[in-house]
Structure 1
Amino acid sequence: MTAAATLDRPDTTRLSVGLGARSYDIVIGAGLIAEAGARIAALRPGARVGIVSDANVAERHLAAVEESLKAAGLVPATVIIQPGEKSKNFATFEEVVDALIAARIERRDLVLALGGGVVGDLAGFAAAALRRGVDFVQLPTSLLAQVDSSVGGKTGINSRHGKNLVGAFHQPILVLADADALNTLPLREFRAGYAEVAKYGLIDNAPFFAWLERKWQEVFAGGPARTEAIATSCASKAAVVARDEFETGDRALLNLGHTFGHALEAGAGFSQRLLHGEAVAVGMAQAFRFSAEQGLCTAEDARRVEAHLHAVGLPTRIRNIPGELPDTDGLMNLIAQDKKVSRGALTFILVRGIGQAFIAGDVDPQAIRRFLEAERAA
């Protein structure tokens, strides 16, 4: 048992991401922000900690995190970025790295990502590049980050050509998912994160999706159902990452809905018009509708998925996205920049049913084009 493990309470859940010497724990529970200092100090006593956060999260949580770090004998230095996907760019990356160097974050120190998926991706990439790699800790404050982006070591920024096209695999040394942090999350952001929760059921866990259909209102309300949903999602992600750290095999299944979704997100300008989780919701519904059109799954499964996402308040159709989007040619160009494209061949995550996702290589571009034309007209 590690020193950090001795801090666990009966109301916390600890999961392990098994990567040999680079294995790390995910701790889920209430009140973890106040314990962050003690848990980090158990792993890196006396370290300087470069906190990367955004202005909104910092206003809510930064003081408590800094107090916790100082009480544990750690030395915090803080870098604040602007909220939103547009901060995942080269200019902000440079600002963060320069600030961490100025704060004298050295190889034996660490970076702490305090925020949602944007902060985690950006701070993790900065940690991967800084002095050729320093350790970092994820303290995710959004549902999306707690169940998805904080686990697995994918870090990066966006290019004008598409989302997450520049980055590195760099695993954290600890993930602290404080369920209390979600109590201050705006409803729209919680819904967006819920799309990633539902994704785990749709990939390979049909009983979990059925449980969400029954329990989603309790997940939104908080309490044991929310913690169970987070823990189930994290366990699924951890198992996939342990099998396929660098996405050379079935880790690609975690991108269900993301090929369509990333194109829509880029088409909306990475703006508040369409949050990442909302784009994933539309993309997952499209993946099921396209699969049904191709005779891979039943139309009833596609309707069931769309009905559930709609019930929780998520968009499922292109018409649900406000404002103008690129035409079909523009969306096809964005899809062609997807990370799963190999030598120009389109790769999608398609489904044979709920809980039966698979990797489909060399998907016919004309079939996708016809599908998008119909989707835009629907």
Structure 2
Amino acid sequence: MTPTEGGTIASVVIVGTGLIGTSIALALRGRSVRVYLADRDPAAVRLARELGAGEEWTGEQAADIAVIAVPPQYVAQQLLELQKREAARVYTDVASVKALPISEAEQLGCDLSSYVAGHPLAGRERSGPVAARADLFLGRPWAYCPTPEASPDAVRAVRELIELCGGKPVEVEAAEHDRAVALVSHAPHVTAAAVAARLAEASETALGLCGQGVRDVTRIAAGDPALWTGILSGNALPVAEVLERIAADLMTAARALRGLPAGGSAAAVTDLLQRGVRGTGRIPGKHGGPARTYAVLQVVIGDRPGELARLVQAAGETGVNIEDIRLEHAPGLPLGAAELYVQPEAAAVLTEALRARGWQVSA
């Protein structure tokens, strides 16, 4: 098989057929790249194959690049084994921490000239090959962390791999990467788990009052605990520092709230809420650009097959682009609300058009 047009990657070995590994395989298969699959769990390889992700790697086929899709603490040992077998000319990984695998690879005597550590900033709360998607990385940042020893050829190959999968290559130093993901990924996961843990023994009354807010805050807490323990262990100190700052903010707010019945001030609580608004406003918006403020239309939809598709089609007929969509179910009722996020100038047009088609809309 020849390389993809304008590129050098014609074949890839993927070790680890979980969510990320299988998603990479599916993305590459869509670009006519030959993919070989390996995993310590034969059932995972079979399932990935059945999904069309590639063919089983026998250990004899050499590829242009090998992708190590295993937990951070196993990356270096896997890299060493693959290099001993001359499995590929270039190697990368997708672990969510970078300093640890690089340091351990150096200690083990791995060839760092052919290795460029990587991390796609994409994922789902679900795991395993069955959750994989070929479009998982489209438009998403994908960090890569070349060491001084990395060859230009290795760096080019990893960038090409990222682009073949639809990701946005972002070069970053390993320690800086780990500090960044501690703030935007790892500590938020622990924080979400802490909130969700309060629900484990919540009363039925409290659970019956759950709204979209608590679902939004706790969604990522459903991730695999064993996987996340490994991730957090590999980035322990940066995550601990962020959690300590979060805990300090929460303790300050708690002290202020306890003092309110005795006539205390709510200034500390207001300050935290205001800083939260400013922080939310700094999260990049669609396509990675500046955050945008959208108008939100709430549309009542029935909990029946095809209802959401019918709503989206009706919106499309008006020529209005839906920037985002979220669903909220009504407990105990066969209906819910679809929140449509649109450009402010399009809100009135879409509202009028949907109401004319019989939809119940509130802005």
Per the normalisation by structure 2, the TM-score is 0.32
Task: Compare relative contact order (CA 8 Å, sep 6+) and give the higher one, 1 or 2.
Answer: 1
Per the normalisation by structure 1, the TM-score is 0.31
* Greater per-residue helix proportion: 1
